[in-house]
Amino acid sequence: MSTHKPIRKAVFPVAGLGTRFLPATKAIPKELLPIVDRPLIQYAVDEAREAGIEQMIFVTGRGKTAIVEHFDVAYELETTMEERGKDLGVLDSSRFTPGDIITVRQQVPMGLGHAIWCARAIVGDEPFAILLPDEMMVAHKGGTGCMAQMVEAYNEVGGNLISVLEVPHENVASYGVIDPGESSGALTEVNGLVEKPPVAEAPSNKIISGRYILQPEVMRTLETQGKGAGGEIQLTDAMARMIGNQAFHSVTFEGRRFDCGSKTGFVEATLALALERDDMGAEIRSIAERLLAE
């Protein structure tokens, strides 16, 4: 049995404007755009639930109330469906026990680090998870999700963890990468973090991939941290300051990542998941082959 404090809370930074998806996101939060038939945020929440996380903390901004409504009881819809004899099971994943969804407002867009800091009062003195919904992490068939893999590793080593993926070395300049220490299986010690290094100077090809388990001390670090790249308060800078003071590891995710913050990544994720569906995969494959032939 683990002697480390359990990971009960997860923070979802969802205050962004989604400008790369305009005009679709003018009135609809990017996080509610559907991958097949579930909104993007639902995949991240389901991943957290699979990992045993109980409380979901949404850091929202103006115009993002629909995200909370998605996880609320839709009384009129559910009553109408029930009267018509329709199965309500399709809504199960969007239902929560009262009190398990909490929102906090990021009033000024000052970066990811600032968004996380906005949740400090709710996180309190507990370790917590962070899931960036734009980074869609899909487990291999029969495997567990990224956060479940990280919680398993956390129960073993404690401290701070980040998820990483290996990419071709020539692509590292587009990502944050780790300076690795000793490795044991999927676990690697983190000696440092480097944001978008030149290929020749990159310490590894392990990129940071949007999932974190952090100790509450990161909030105190963010409290006094100045602005970094882009004039924003960067989470990466705060984590880098913690390395050497607390245990810090990466977990190489056994699964696939889709960058749903880009339009091409969003389409790729939609196509990949649709192809794997028993109810539509064969038809989608036939359509794709026809379109490619044309």
Other residues' Cβ atoms within 10 Å of the Cβ of residue 210: 22
Section 20-25 average pLDDT = 92
Mean pLDDT (the chain) is: 90
Section 41-68 average pLDDT = 93
* pLDDT above 70 for 136: yes
* Span 181-190, pLDDT tens digits: 988 888 999 9
* pLDDT above 90 for 144: yes
Window from 61-75, 129-143, 144-158 with minimum mean pLDDT: 61-75
* pLDDT above 70 for 229: no
Q: Report the share of the chain in percent with pLDDT over 70.
A: 97
CA-based nearest residue to 181, from 250, 239, 254, 253: 250
Find the angle CA(147)-CA(5)-CA(212) to the nearest 5 degrees. 30
List Cα–Cα distances, 286 to 51, 130, 272, 281, 292, in angstroms.
35, 38, 14, 9, 10
Section 209-230 average pLDDT = 85
* pLDDT above 70 for 29: yes
Q: Which residue has the higher pLDDT, 196 or 120?
A: 120
What does the H/E/C string look like for the chain? CCCCCCCCEEEEECCCCCHHHCCCCCCCCHHHCEECCEEHHHHHHHHHHHCCCCEEEEEECCCCHHHHHHCCCCHHHHHHHHHCCCCHHHHHHHCCCCCCEEEEECCCCCCHHHHHHCCHHHHCCCCEEEECCCEEEEECCCCCCHHHHHHHHHHHHCCEEEEEEECCHHHHHHCEEEEEEEEECCEEEEEEEEECCCHHHCCCCEEEEEEEEECCHHHHHHHCCCCCHHHCCCHHHHHHHHECCECEEEEECCEEEEECCCHHHHHHHHHHHHHHCCCCHHHHHHHHHHHHHC
Q: What is the pLDDT of residue 2?
A: 63
Section 98-123 average pLDDT = 89
* Span 200-215, pLDDT tens digits: 888 888 989 899 999 9
**What is the length of the chain?**
294
Section 71-94 average pLDDT = 88
Q: What is the pLDDT of residue 147?
A: 97
Q: Is residue 249 very low, low, confident or very high in pLDDT (cuts 50, 70, 90)?
A: very high
Window from 235-249, 251-265, 269-283 with minimum mean pLDDT: 235-249
The string over 165-203, giving b where at least 16 C-beta atoms fall within 10 Å of a residue's C-beta and e elsewhere, is bebeeeebeebbbbbbeeeeebebbbeebbeebeeeebe
Highest mean pLDDT: which of 163-167, 212-216, 217-221? 212-216
* pLDDT above 60 for 53: yes
CB 10, CB 128: distance < 8 Å: yes
Q: What is the pLDDT of residue 183?
A: 85
Q: What is the pLDDT of residue 1?
A: 54
Q: What is the pLDDT of residue 250?
A: 94
Domains of the chain: 9-261 (3.90.550.10)
Q: What is the pLDDT of residue 230?
A: 66
